[in-house]
Amino acid sequence: MIRVIARKELRELVRDGRFQLGGALMVLLQVAALLFGWRHTTAMQAERVAAQTVARSAWTTQGDKNPHLAAHYGMYVFKPAATLAFLDPGTDAFVGVTLKLQAHEQELPHDAAASDGTAVGRFGQLSAAAVLQLLVPLLIIALGFALWSGERERGTLRQLAASGVHPRQLLAGKALGLGVALLLLLLPAVLVAGLALAVGGDAGAWTRFAALVPAYGLYFGVIIAVTLWVSARAASSRTALVALLGLWCATSLVVPRLASDVAGRAVPLPTAEVLARRVHATLAQGLPQGLPREEHIDKISKALLAKQGFAGAESMMDDALLQGLELQAEAEYENAVFDYHVTALLAAMARQERVAQWAAALSPLLAIRSLSMALAGTDFDHHRAFAQQAEQFRRSLVLAMNDDFARNAGAAGWQYKANRQLWQQAAPFALQPPALGQVWADQQVAWTMLAAWMVAAGLGATLAARRMQVV
Amino acid sequence: MLWTVVRMDARNVRAEVSAWLALLLLATGVTYAAWSGAAAVHADRQAVATALTEQQTRMRDLQVRLHAVQAGQKQATSTEDPSDPALVGSTLAAVWAVLPQLPLASVAVGQRDLAAARVRITTQGPSGRSLQSDRPMTGPTRLLTGAFDLAFVLVALLPLVIIVLTYDLLAGERERGTLALVLAHPVSLATFVLGKALQRGLLLGSVTLGLALLAVAATVDGPWTSDDAVRMLLYLGTLMAYVGFWFAAAVAINVRGQTSAGNALALIGLWLALVVIVPGIVQVAVQATHPPPSRVELVNLTRAAASEIEAELSDLQGNHGADGKGTPAQNAQAATERLVAVQVALEKRAAPVLQAFGTQLAAQQALVNALRFLSPAIVLQEALGDVAGNGGHRLQQFHSQVDEFGQRWRNFFFSRVSARQRLTVADYAALPQFVFREESLPALGTRVGAGLMGLLLPTLLLIGWAGVGLRRGVRVM
């Protein structure tokens, strides 16, 4: 029975002018957004890979010099683009991609593409994800607002009720018909995306893509259920349409910006200058509730000595060894300061994101947006992983340089020069994106909310169908 | 007769719950956006004030120390010598170049949350500029979402309120069966439609105008000049033209004689096209034809071009003061001179790259300027950014003036380093000062005025189209 109803609804939809026009436009936009996204992402990735190669060779060919000076010379790293960024560029344009890793300083990634953008950038990006998140729901509303109310207005609902079909079957049939119609429209985009992945995707990208499909399926399920719910409850098709459009505006336009604004207020962040000033002050004076700078460095230095089995034997050690250890003690002190301020900043930003995520209770769009960016590897958590891994890499690089100084400088002291061999020993920076399990855990609020929306909207639609007035 | 229609429709609107609701939501949105915008502007002003106070204290301390050193009361340490031009120019006297907030700043965040509007000027060279700028830190997802500012409410939400007020302007009367009844009276269809549109237009126009004025009046901060009055006029004029455009579109669609649901869909479709899709396509077009110059490449170009120079530079900086031969003083002077030479060379190599970068950005902005006429929403967004002083133009001008000023700053100190001069009290009085030169009012007026024309022209076309439709007549049942 459900199949018969679904087939009838599908046939009607496909013959509808709104479906043909809206659908054609959507397919066009989808495919165009995908192709442009693919071109943009591959170009960006090629550029960053090239830049990374140049930066690497600048490091390895820097010539013979003292290893600590090499740590000062530093190394640039560039954030690699996520493969699925062509589907959902997420925060890509708004985060820094460049980092200089050097002794004594922790940088935050800088050079975000959006800072060189224009006013049109403020309208949001026209990505495949934006089409799916914003436009497809509108299409569902346009196709489905009259599915119940229209039957009632034409008087066919009474006939249906008289025929003894259970309202639940009717509902399932209508939802299925709408879903299949939608599937027809999304198929070309899925094929294009799959083709792109077949060309340039790895196994990880396929897994993430495979996780994206059911996530969006759930989102569209929510929209279909809400549409049928409102259509069943509304007094007329017109009321149903106006209510649904109002809901769309509230959930897609107002709630996201409002939630973002509230999150900004709930978890305030310092300005860049204030942060820099705090870091410098702490570097000079020592951590709050900790030892003053010199004592702290001394303590680390002693611990390092003890670890190497030289405790109390400073006078017997050669100068360079001592100096190398002191440099490392200083670096470790600085790392503690950076941990205190910068890691705290990144954590605060992440907290801000979580606050905004809770607003998904008011807008399913926020849930799917968050999930989609996370699965595409373009959300803030992925960016934070880059910033933190790069910092770890910086620390091990500085450690390796100071270590070489301590071990090999000997009597030459600051005149000691290391060569290419040492530079090449430092492995190139390789970003390890968070594993899917981690993404799943980070996105707990988002997928719980999406599932909750599905349950609530499904229940609402079922109840509304059962209690519907037929005339 | 027109007046009768207006009065009748006013009574109708007063009885419509949806109209009240829409207006209430608009008022709430404007109020919240104004409050939030004002808070952000206020916080920003405070941050600037704190930075400038710190800068003043630092400068005064430097001069006091300089007096003491010159009077021989105090020995200057090498890391804090207020008469050492290299040291003072690169760190001790670093100054802020600030893009001032205009009184209308709370109207639109514009590009201000993305591009630097405060830059720390030192002799360290232009390639490091992005690192030394200050702005409120904003999480990337918040930047992606965009601010809930007045511009958002006016550009995106206001048209939706207009749609709520107008989608059933004519269709509603027909569906209720009152259209035939009304037209049986001695009133022409044109007068009837005009009266209704006028009534709702005046209502919404005055509410919007009042809210827009109130929002600005409640948040205006800082001195008010005649230039600001012109900006205010441009702001309100463009806003009213935008309202006019959406009313004209609503009337034109109503006249086509569809059902009210059909009108609502058509109007939402138009809104979607103009507020979401066209701006998106324009952005894609701009990216495809004028790809924003890549900062990633810029980093490498500057680094590769100056790799050996920079290596030398970091040698000097990382030396931790242990070099060997020569007296410390001689070494220090030689090192400083080499450092300056290195920096001058570095800058020379980076200059063409940076120049090309600036040209590309300007070309991109020019293209957006031309393409904005494709959507009234882009026109209004740009205009609001312009009058708020947070638009792309003003920020680009700021950046080029900062580059210019940085050059002056470096010349001031580098010339003294090369001449082996120490800084004197007179030098401190003569330090270069950054003052932002505003874009001339005619230039701003021309740009925003062109946008205004870009709103009025499609409005007139829509009115003409509606007129033709009205003359042909509509279904009454």
- pLDDT tens-digit series, residues B48-69: 999 899 999 999 999 998 888 8
Domain that holds residue A251: 2-466
**How high does pLDDT run on average in chain A?**
89
| DSSP letter assigned to residue A108 | P
A135 class by beta-carbon count within 10 Å (0-12 exposed, 13-18 middle, 19+ buried): buried
Predicted pLDDT at B330? 67
Give the residue from B121, B296, B331, B372 with the most A CB atoms within 10 Å of its CB, the best one to mutate. Answer: B296
Please indicate, yes or no, if residue A293 is contained in any of the structural domains.
yes
The domain segmentation of chain B, as residue ranges, is 1-477
Question: The tokens of A7 are what?
Answer: 């087939």
pLDDT at B1 over 50: yes
> Which residue reads 């259509």 in tokens?
A231
* Token code pair at residue B326: 């020569």
CB contact under 8 A, B377 and A123: yes
- B272 to A135: CB separation less than 8 angstroms, yes or no: yes
Phi, psi (deg, nearest 5) at residue A190: -60, -40
Contact across the interface for B130 and A48, Cβ inside 8 Å: no
Among B residues 210-269, those touching chain A with beta carbons less than 8 Å apart:
259-261, 264-265, 268
DSSP bridge pairs for B97 = B119
- Residue A1 to chain B, least CA–CA distance (Å): 31
User: For chain A, how many structural domains are there in total?
Assistant: 1
Q: Is residue A471 part of a domain?
A: no
Domain for residue A83, yes or no?
Answer: yes
Higher pLDDT, residue B161 or B346:
B161
Q: Which of residues 94-153 of B touch A (CB under 8 A)?
A: 110-111, 114-116, 118, 120, 130-131, 133-148, 152
State pLDDT tens for residues B170-220. Answer: 888 888 888 888 888 888 888 898 899 999 999 999 999 999 988 888 777
The residue of chain B with its CA nearest to that of A95 is: B140
Comparing B73-77, B82-86, B185-189, B317-321, which segment has the lowest mean pLDDT?
A: B317-321
A120, A349, A363, best to mutate vs chain B, most B CBs in 10 Å? A120
What is the average pLDDT value for chain B, to the nearest integer? 85
pLDDT exceeds cutoff 60 at B95? yes
Can you tell me the mean pLDDT for A207-221? 95
Q: What percent of chain B has pLDDT over 90?
A: 40
Q: Do B310 and A73 touch (CB under 8 A)?
A: yes
B145: chain A residues, CB-CB within 8 Å: 256-257, 260, 356
Give per-residue pLDDT as tens, B428-445. 999 999 999 999 999 999
Q: What is the pLDDT of residue A90?
A: 92
CB of B198 within 8 A of CB of B6? yes
Among the partner residues B116, B296, B319, nearest to A47 by beta-carbon distance: B296
Confidence tier at B323 by pLDDT (50, 70, 90): very low
Helix (H) / strand (E) containing A217: helix A203-233
Domain-located, residue A15: yes
Listing DSSP states for A443-464 in one string gives THHHHHHHHHHHHHHHHHHHHH
At A249 the pLDDT is: 93
pLDDT tens-digit series, residues A254-310: 999 999 999 999 998 988 888 888 898 999 888 888 888 888 888 888 888 888 776
The count of C-alpha atoms lying within 13 angstroms of the C-alpha of B103, restricted to the half-sphere facing its C-beta, is: 19
- pLDDT above 60: residue B306: no
Rounded CA-CA distance A217/A146 in Å is: 22
Per CB-CB distance under 8 Å, the chain A contacts of B372 are: 119-120
- Confidence bin at B319 (pLDDT 50/70/90): low
Query: What's the ipTM?
Result: 0.90
- Of all residues in chain A, what percent carry a pLDDT higher than 90? 50
Domain presence at residue A306: yes
Q: Does A414 contact B320 at a Cβ distance shorter than 8 Å?
A: yes
Chain B residues touching A29 at Cβ < 8 A: 277
Asked whether the predicted pLDDT for residue B416 surpasses 80, the reply is: yes
pLDDT tens for residues B246-300?
999 999 999 887 888 889 889 999 999 999 999 999 988 888 888 766 777 777 7
Put simply, whether B175 touches A (Cβ < 8 Å) is yes
What integer pLDDT is reported at residue B315 of this predicted model?
Answer: 58
